[in-house]
Structure 1
Amino acid sequence: MNNAVMLLGRISSKSSSKFSTFSIAYLPFLLPRFNSDNVSHQARHFSGNPEDAIALFDRMLRTLPTPSAFAFNKLLTAVVKKEQYSVALYLFDEMLHRDVPENLCTLNIAIDCYSRLKRPELGFSILGCVLKRGYEPDVVTFNTLIKGLLLVGKNLEAANLLKRLFTESLCQPDEASCLNIISRLCEPAMLSLLKRGWRKARVYDYYAVIVDAMASTGVSPDTLAYNSIMKGLCDLSRWNEVENILKKMVANKVYPDLNTYNMLVDAHCKEGRVEAAEHVMKNMNVEPDIVTYNSLIHGYCLNGKMNEAGSILRIAVNSGIKPSIVTYNTLMNGHCKKGGVGEVFRLFMEIHAQGLERDVVSYNIMLDALCKSRRITEAFTVFNTMEVKGIVPDIVTYSVLIEGLCSAHCFAKAFSVLNKIEDKGIDLDTVIYNILIKGLCSAHCFAEAFSVFRKIEDTGLDPDTETYNILINGLCKDSKVKQAKDLFSVLPSPDVVTYNILIGALCKEGEMEEAKFFMKKMVNNNCLPDRITCNVLVRGLLKKNMIRDAIQLLEEMDSRKFTIDATTLSMMESRGIKSVRRRSVKKESRYQDEK
């Protein structure tokens, strides 16, 4: 019989409880035994190592009458405070083995130890013991279990447990637990999962239940809690629910603060919803600050509306708001993307005139604008000035320079910059190597490109899917489809871009059967074709007069609501195809052209 069964046998009881729906979650479990090599602890009554705790425990056992559960709990608590969780669990095991007095607090301490050891499943096993002993779990029990789930990233499971506490009236969790879960549900990693559809439908239910329950039980969510919820929903683009939460917030007499408005303005702008951001800003009941204006400027820059972005800057200045370095960097970046190197330079010079200090981001944008204009010599002049001013170049700085040199086919100098980075001991990633490989492929220097590819592996990095896509795309553009297929065969996880490149190349060469084979292959590999895949294949089929196959694929596109590119539509019309219902036409955007 293992330790788990023995332990549960010692504390088993058949008392009834309203918590009987809970059962022992995970069995068997193994309680850690004491190890004299454990890190020494320092508790108030100990000299400094675990043996002292055990010695005190033994003395307590020999004391007559036997000390109360309260006394033993004080010992366990002292051990836990010194982070000696395994020692505390060893003493807990001994208490059960020797029929030492215990109570709910004792069991809560054991649950806490397992939570801190990131073994929440064993904490739930102790919950089963709590119920079998006839105790009713209290708020401490459940708060500790929730903490254990959160510590291992099981945020939705923690939220589900909290929801049950409210909906089944098991107990009333404290405000800290509620706010902690709301915060955890809004973390970037959690939102990333939700964006991919993982349990996405459930998250708002958790938000709503937790907030409503908090309000109904007198635990009032504060502005920070509401802000966290709205931030999470904004990141999921669930704007109607954001509006509902905002209304509920005001109804509960919790009012938006500047952080609320800044978060909403920023979220709208990042999604390209600048008009919605303007609406929020106009209805603010507090004065906007530079963060508010910076978000709005960023929104206009993302939409390429540089005149409007400049107008926002003037409004901010006229309102007595001093621009920050973020303001200028945002405007510079917007003009850089529009090819306005002159305006970038003007803003770059204005930074100093405004009494601000340029940072590495300012220099990186200036370098990028010059490199994109093929003004490489001037770019290196700025780079040298940067070092003189004490601004330490980062990996982005060097990436910009290498990309600029590659676009000008100055590969010798690009390799020189790469060597300089390596000599400085700067940690490199695949991105900078991908830039160099892309430049070499565009110049048909495939031997050198594959040399860099091998160098990635030699440095201990793994070439990523983008690395392979760049090489495969370059080979296909150079009509080296066989070599591209050979490289494709060793790619661990091709993505939709990889397939689109290869299918496009095969269609260009008229190899339609092989193109269809690769489309089936991508489906079998759980990589679903997208609009680009289908349009490329339809054009290839029409070019080979495989009308029936083309119509079949067009009907499939229609069922999936894929749009038809202008070039595809033109080819359909030239062949008299009118039976397929057409959807809105989008401007053609093939990966090969984008690269």
Structure 2
Amino acid sequence: MLLMLSTAKTKHGALTLSSILFKHFSSNSTTPNQISTIPKQPLAPTASVLCSLLSKETTASVDSLLGSFKQQLSSELVLQILMNYKQLGRRKTLDFFSWAGLQMHFQFDDCVVEFMADFLGRRKLFDDMKHLLLTVSLHKGGVSCRAVSTCIRFLGREGRIREALCVFQEMESRFGCKPDNLVYNNVLYVLCKKDSSGHLIDFALAVFRRIESPDVYSYSNMLVGLCKFGRFETAVEVFGEMCSTGLVPTRSAVNVLIGELCLLSAKEAAVAKVRVKNVRRPFKILVPNVHEKSGAIQPAVGVFWEVYKLGLLPSTFVIIRLLLELSKLGKMEEAVGVLRAVEGRKLSCVEEGYCIVMKGLCEHCCVEEASRLFGRMLSQGMKPRLTIYNSVICMLCKLGNLDGAESVFKMMNKKRCLPDSCTYSALVHAYCEAGKWKAAYDLMIEMLGLGCSPPFHTYSSVDKLLRENEQTDLCFKLERKLETQILEKLCKDGQLDDAYEKLKSMVEKGFYPPVYARDSFKNAFRKYGKLNIARDLLQTIDDMDNNEEKQLCTQ
């Protein structure tokens, strides 16, 4: 507590700031200056001399150094010296202010008090900061709203909520200062953004209602606080009031409001686990998560369009969240509208937004709108991601439009977008349902050739279709190809025991892997120093190959 412990030599001896608090001085008129309006200018000659004297390394008191300058002291001179605190250091700056306050009976202009309140707050000297305001007030000096708001803001940042509220509630009775919007906004900032308990949100709302003409920050702070503590209906009402006055909220407030409404909508649509106890063996079931409030996505969309009309857009993260929620709920018309509005502003989320909306349109089989949006992507030179191609192909296959799915598949190859197992599986299943066994088999072989592992049900569908069409040889070829791919993957992953068992089972079935698969098997065992284990099995395969060759030659 440097300011409280700093001393100033007077005829009464060493006095601390705390001992001066209740000492009576005559009042002096104040000039309502704002510290932010005072530009930093070169030091006046007198201020330069005082700073030079204070900067000296000496044990002499401030009064002995600057005693001859007492008559020249003024608020402007004091402020110039205080603003050079980097040159003086914290201790000497506080010593000088204590000395100057004694000489001028703390009859400073507002700008000096505001500067010192900020100076003390930044250094977390909160008790000194409050004593400063009380000292100036008791000495009939002027305490401005800016000084009080600075005190409230710093106390709130440090989590000293109760102390900040005490300063606010006592400012008229103790400091003779009526709150203005700056004070109210700092109080709302403390209650809505820094308080984590939620017990004071009703008090914050009462403070907000006391403001005669709330400004952008009043509304924005209130919106953040109401969303933070789950008061969404009130938040939407306050937002409506704000829009009716023509004010535009801050972007952070819009992000919080839309983001929290989307999150609430997601919780409404989620499922919850409920334990059934009134049975012999209790069990859990999944049931819809019934929420007291419903339809949170509609207010979120409404807020988006209101701020869009006012020329403001939420952040990329919030827009993506909104599009995801709309797509999940099947509200594709609203999602397309939001995407087109965002596209007009050329935000960084346009490409990802297209991906989300395209997937939603395909999942809900909105063929016409998906086709238009897909064509728009291509016409604007965008390169659709693999997930978009897969969504379109899955939708067309689901609707039985194999020609369209094949066209999109060919387009993928032209655009050099490599398909994955999902792409192949969708097409294979569509061919199987259409009874096109040859196309399904060819596509499965191509899939295995690219190293894509088909799901078991996909392979089963092709195998069943081939057997139904008496294509047993192709069934064996397909099985051998699949077994070989699995063997190579096990060798690549270093799973030697599983690889050994897989090759052994293949040999028992009469499947002899190709040379490249045997080399992979041998190299994997050699890498881990276990080639002796693999040599016997490989020798067995070579012997069988030799026997087959001899039989062919004799025939």
**TM-score using structure 2 length:** 0.46
Higher normalized contact order (CA 8 Å, seq sep 6+, divided by chain length) = 2
Instruction: Give 1 or 2 for the bigger CA radius of gyration.
Output: 2
